Structure 1
Amino acid sequence: MLIDSHVNLHAPQFDEDRDAVIARAREAGVGLMVEISDKLSTFEATHALAMAHDDIWCTVGAHPHEARDHTGLTADQLVELAGRDRVVGIGECGLDFHYDLSPRDIQADVFRRHIEAARRTGLPLVVHTREADAVMADILTEEQAKGPFRFLMHCYTSGPELAARAAELGAWFSVSGIATFKAAGDVRQAVRAMPPDRIIVETDCPYLAPVPYRGRRNEPAYVGHVLDALADIRGWTREEAEARTTDAFFRLFDRIPRPPETESAA
């Protein structure tokens, strides 16, 4: 079973053919998708997708781009929303110093509230980080010292130092279609160094379509190309890559019941 650990099916890019996109994913063998919350104003749409489809689950949180609009967000609010059926993670949250669409201090403050919610709920934290390696490493280290929480470095494209520190702190990592890009040698090098039992795959659709679809709208149906790239980078067979990433996924997103047919992947 293919799993897409990070989809944005609520995005307007899918407004014209969302049902068809979901159907194509199933036809391609995608048995499970995690629909990611990027801001509380669209959480109801995100949650509705999960409630309407047995193979879709969701998270709750606010992307760092949206932190400026979430200055009043509390861990209590996140914890309450995380108690809903089919919510399996906290985030997407984190730091993005490339676009700086929200002030950096506000990004950090809102990120720490997500961490508190992850710690209190026991749900995994979906972390976005871009050009913020030193600050991200400091926050993760400081917050783990306060109390443990599980976290996923989603669509990892940052440097080796942050990757090593995050791995020491117990991070999972997800690989996206960027790993298929010709110029992404640094990303492939990072993938080679990831803990082999803590790697999962994603599309981050509608963004970052893998080769041979690069430049088009991304879809969950394309996640198999990411899995193939991961297998090639790590020197695994396709079957081994699928087994390893399936096992890692269900250990991280442990609120999702694991289908019996995937148990042989353990």
Structure 2
Amino acid sequence: MILFDTHAHLDEEAFHPDRNETVERALEAGVQTILTIGTTADSSQRAVDLAATFPQVYAVVGIQPNYVAQMKPGDWERILTLSTADKVVGIGETGLDRYWDYAPIELQQDYFSKHIQLSRERDLPFVVHCREAEADVVDLLQREAEQAPFKGLMHSFCGTPETAAACLELGMYISFAGMLTFKKNDELRETARLIPLDRLLVETDAPYLAPVPQRGKRNEPAFVKHTCACLAELHDKTPEEMAEITAQNARTLFQLN
């Protein structure tokens, strides 16, 4: 099986004790590529460093919306510089979050647009975080699309079919994480069933939200196979077929073919 984990946070403290072993377990599980995602300037630097350390790891750099109010002078300039580093394949994670009251929504929107502009300048896709802000995200994406084309993905999607349809219409990819496997999430599985095969991605968001049957444990890239298997069942594919479909989609989006 050939798997591609499109979203993990390998720089997190949870992986300090066994980061090397975590990557090794991912390889043993068939995960050939892992994207480690920045959430701050420091985290993005660590992502770039990890990409330089592990052949199968690539970096995405940016400021996650909950952290934009905590940025220090020079942090955005650091992101601009890091976006040109070797093995950086995307911009983010960016987006909007109304669940946590960590940053004014206007500031989040400003930096969401800045990340999209940077992704255009670098010809790299952007990665969208959305929590309790679906209408706001869709509105901003639609306004940005009127200005110039873009390419991006909705990470850890848990929204409505209407939001998914709006994002697909804008050319976005849709990525599913461990929540897809949770027993209560029948509506999310029905939404996932509606996504065209050529727009599907899978991820872990490790170390968070481990999928069934690993729920409650620290999540790690090796566990992406469980979400992939769930997605395969929804689309009447074998796990191996869905792994190849989602891996090829990820390679296409992140220009790793």
Q: How does the TM-score come out when normalised to structure 1?
A: 0.92
Give matches, 1:116-135, under 5 Å: 116-135=117-136
Structure 1 residue 73 displacement after superposition: 6.9
Query: CA 1:146 to 1:61, structure 2 compared with 1: closer, same or farther past 3 Å?
Result: same
Provide, for residues 213-252 of structure 1, a one-character-per-residue CA deviation record: whole Å limited to 9, x for no partner.
Answer: 1011001111111110000112212232122112211110
Cα distance in 2 between the residues matched to 1:48 and 1:78: 14
Name the residue aligned to 1:198: 199
**What is the one-letter code of the residue matched to 1:136?**
V
Output the CA distance in 2 between the equivalents of 1:252 and 1:235.
Answer: 24
CA distance in 1, matches of 2:22, 2:14: 11
Q: Is the 8 A contact 2:41 2:75 kept in 1?
A: no
Residue 3 of structure 1 corresponds to which residue in structure 2? 4
Alignment of 1:1-266 (within 5 A): 1-70=2-71, 78-254=79-255, 256=256, 258=257
Q: Provide structure 1 residue ranges, at least 5 long, that are not aligned to the other structure.
A: 259-266
| Superposed CA offset, 1:152-197 (max 9, x none) | 0001001222211110000101111111100111211221111220
Aligned residues: 256
Q: Compare 221-230 and 184-193 and name the one that shifted more.
A: 184-193
Aligned equivalents of 1:212 and 1:86: distance in 2? 32
Q: How far, CA to CA, are the matches of 1:112 and 1:53 in structure 2? A: 31
1:51 partner amino acid: A
Residues 82 and 90, structure 1, Cα contact 8 Å, conserved in 2: yes
- Answer whether contact 1:74 1:113 (CA < 8 A) is retained: no
Paired residues of 2:41 and 2:76 also in contact (CA < 8 A) = no
The 1-side partners of 2:22 and 2:128 are apart by 25
Q: Is the 8 A contact 1:65 1:101 kept in 2?
A: yes
Residue pair 2:204, 2:210 contacting (<8 A) in 1 also: yes
RMSD value, Cα: 1.5
Aligned partner letter, 1:214: R
Q: Does the residue aligned with 1:22 lie in a helix, a strand or coil? A: helix
User: 1:7–1:206: 8 Å Cα contact kept in structure 2?
Assistant: yes
Give me the whole-angstrom Cα distance separating, in 2, the residues matched to 1:217 and 1:207. 7
CA distance in 2, matches of 1:223, 1:64: 25
Q: State the AA in 2 paired with 1:144.
A: A
Q: Tell me, yes or no, if the aligned pair for 1:76 and 1:117 is still in contact at 8 Å.
A: no
Q: Where in structure 2 are there 5+ consecutive unaligned residues?
A: none
| Rounded Cα–Cα distance in structure 2 between residues aligned with 1:79 and 1:43 | 11
- Percent identity over paired residues: 39
Question: With structure 2 as the length reference, what TM-score do the two structures score?
Answer: 0.95
- State the SS of the aligned residue for 1:112: helix
Q: Secondary structure at the match of 1:197?
A: helix
Of stretches 175-184 and 66-75 in structure 1, the one that deviates more from structure 2 is 66-75
Change (3 A) 1:72 1:110: farther
